[in-house]
């Protein structure tokens, strides 16, 4: 209501209205200066929390900085309450931790640390940092596929990682682009071993009896409901569907709903685009063989002409996509703004609270070991409660729908959101190395390292 409206309404006298003119005036929205919200530093033991990298049905993935090694990390934040709502959720997380602890390979994601908060019933799985997922790269280009030479390079790395897993008696069961992550130097990492199965050391063969993988990547023996099947051949099939997808942007089998999809997979009829060429077509036919006994083994795949052939670049490679809003092609570290708050650059409030890493950190070898790690603020907890309510509503809606997405999964995917702009004021010259999978942070001596040790 304007001053004129108040005058005609008779609510105020003329003298009162004349006084109001001195302090009530219209402000254009362009004149309003918004103060950005200050980033609050949060320490989980020796790790400084960064921004959100992605979300999945199991929990959130955030960036972290190891204050001792200055290495960039990613952390899965898992809530026990949420895991209980997911079929086999808690058991899958325990199994994934057990498997990752015994694995060490350049093409398998590395588990760095496990922390547990008994009070808030949260688990923190600290992993090596990967800049993005293969599915995100595919979605960033209109063609939704890789050039042949790029797909060949990634596929060979997938073979290396898959061969290592099989040599350790582990069946992944959910190979797909969404579970393949990439580092800044182009190294492929197989991730999400939540539905994987470790074969018994004295097992006669690779026979498995359960499968929880993504529907579009399951073989005919699972689609037809067989009680037992070869675990290794399941991974070969899934790798074949993955190769088909990253070279053609298509899926060999599709369906309006999960029943129709499994019906099509069970029949085993599919076509391969003509532009794939005879060698790639032959390889895909061998990996997507209906009979698991006749299906290619990893050794046969390695000896195939398409795999052994050198593919020269015929078109530009698909680059790592930049951040959605900042368009940062280097994916700068999101922990930088939190460093400013941690070390007190600028004015500080009297009520600012810092966290003591030594008092709060709890290293755990098991999911049920008690401990306490201070991390979330009250505002963040309220946001999480709202998110849980939204997730419950979405779950109810999903139960009513029969349609599925070919890439639907129960596992976490890196879906990088946005990186905040770098702060205007930094304590010392600060550089980010663009080489190496860990993207370590390097700073001048006697500056940043000293500040970290003081805290």
Q: Which residues are annotated as a binding site?
A: 76
Domain spans in the chain, listed from the N-terminal domain onward: 43-130+331-454, 133-308
- Asked whether 357 and 67 are in contact (CB, 8 A), the reply is yes
Among residues 174, 341, 360, 410, the one annotated as catalytic is: 174
Q: Is 28 noted as a catalytic residue in this protein?
A: no
Q: What is the CATH number of domain 133-308?
A: 1.10.510.10
pLDDT tens for the chain, residues 1 to 455:
555 565 555 655 666 555 555 555 666 666 666 556 667 888 898 999 998 888 877 889 999 999 999 999 999 999 988 898 888 899 999 999 999 999 999 999 999 999 999 888 999 999 999 999 999 999 999 999 999 999 999 999 999 999 999 999 999 999 999 999 999 899 999 999 999 999 999 999 999 999 889 999 999 999 999 999 999 999 999 999 999 999 999 999 999 999 999 999 999 999 999 999 999 999 999 999 999 999 999 999 999 999 999 999 989 999 999 865 556 777 888 888 887 777 765 444 444 444 444 434 444 444 333 333 444 445 456 556 666 666 666 655 555 444 444 555 443 333 333 334 434 433 333 333 333 344 333 333 344 444 444 54
CA distances from 135 to 64, 103, 184, 210, 328 (A): 22, 24, 16, 26, 19
The pLDDT value given to residue 2: 57
Could you tell me where the beta strands, DSSP code E, fall in 97-247? Answer: 111-117, 122-128, 132-133, 170-171, 180-182, 188-190, 197-198, 207-208, 229-230
Instruction: DSSP for 48-83, please give it.
Output: EEEEEEEE-SSEEEEEEEETTT--EEEEEEEEHHHH
pLDDT at site 336: 82
CATH architecture assignment, domain 43-130+331-454: 2-Layer Sandwich (3.30)
Gap between the Cα atoms of 123 and 363, Å rounded: 11
pLDDT of residue 334: 85
Task: With H, G, I as helix, E, B as strand and everything else as coil, classify residue 114.
Answer: strand
pLDDT of 352 reads 45
Binding-site annotation: residue ranges for ATP:
76
60: which residues sit within 8 A by CB, 6+ positions away? 52, 54, 76, 77
pLDDT tens, residue by residue, 312-346 = 998 999 999 986 555 677 788 888 888 777 776 54
Q: Nearest 5°: CA angle at 146, between 216 and 165? A: 55
Round the CA-based radius of gyration of the chain to a whole number and report it.
26
The alpha carbon torsion through 177, 130, 297, 408 (nearest 10 deg) reads -30
Q: How far apart are CA 225 and CA 209, in angstroms?
A: 10
371 by Cβ neighbours in 10 Å (0-12 / 13-18 / 19+) ranks as middle
Model pLDDT for residues 43-75, shown as the tens digit of each residue: 898 999 998 888 877 889 999 999 999 999 999
């Amino acid at each position: 209501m304007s001053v004129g409206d108040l005058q005609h309404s008779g609510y105020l006298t003329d003298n009162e209205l004349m006084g109001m003119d001195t302090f009530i005036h219209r402000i254009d929205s362009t004149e309003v200066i918004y103060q950005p919200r200050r980033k609050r530093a949060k320490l989980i033991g020796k790790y400084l929390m960064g921004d959100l990298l992605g979300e999945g049905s199991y929990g959130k993935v955030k960036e972290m900085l190891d204050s001792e090694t200055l290495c960039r990390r990613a952390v899965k934040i898992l809530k026990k309450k949420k895991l209980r709502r997911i079929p086999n959720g808690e058991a899958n997380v325990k199994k994934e931790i057990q498997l990752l602890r015994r694995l060490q390979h350049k093409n398998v994601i590395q588990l760095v640390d496990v922390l547990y908060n008994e009070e808030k019933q949260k688990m923190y799985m600290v992993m090596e940092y990967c800049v993005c997922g293969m599915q995100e790269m595919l979605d960033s280009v209109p063609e939704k596929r890789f050039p042949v030479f790029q797909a060949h390079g990634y596929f060979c790395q997938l073979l290396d990682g898959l061969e290592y897993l099989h040599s350790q008696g582990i069946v992944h069961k959910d190979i797909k682009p969404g579970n393949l992550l990439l580092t800044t130097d182009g190294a492929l990492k197989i991730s999400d071993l939540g539905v994987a199965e470790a074969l018994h050391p004295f097992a006669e063969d690779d026979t498995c009896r359960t499968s929880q993988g993504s529907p579009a990547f399951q073989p005919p023996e699972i689609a037809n409901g067989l009680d037992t099947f070869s675990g290794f051949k399941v991974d070969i099939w899934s790798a074949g569907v993955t190769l088909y997808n990253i070279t053609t942007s298509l899926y060999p089998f599709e369906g309006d709903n999960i029943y129709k999809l499994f019906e099509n997979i069970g029949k085993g009829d599919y076509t391969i685009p003509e532009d794939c060429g005879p060698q790639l077509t032959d390889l895909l036919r061998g990996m997507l063989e209906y009979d698991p006994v006749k299906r290619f083994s990893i050794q046969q795949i390695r000896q195939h002409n398409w795999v052994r052939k050198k593919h020269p670049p015929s078109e530009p490679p698909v680059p790592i996509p930049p951040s959605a809003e900042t368009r940062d092609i280097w994916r700068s570290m999101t922990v930088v703004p939190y460093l400013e708050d941690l070390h007190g650059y600028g004015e500080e409030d009297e009520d600012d609270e810092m966290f003591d890493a030594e008092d709060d950190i709890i290293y755990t070898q098991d999911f049920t070991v008690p401990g306490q790690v201070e991390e979330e603020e009250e505002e963040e907890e309220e946001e999480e409660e709202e998110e849980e309510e939204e997730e419950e509503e979405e779950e109810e809606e999903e139960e009513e729908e029969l349609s599925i997405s070919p890439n639907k999964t129960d596992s976490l995917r890196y879906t990088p959101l946005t990186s905040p702009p770098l702060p205007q004021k930094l304590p010392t010259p600060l550089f980010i190395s663009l080489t190496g999978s860990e993207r370590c942070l390097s700073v001048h001596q006697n500056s940043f390292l000293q500040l970290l040790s003081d805290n």
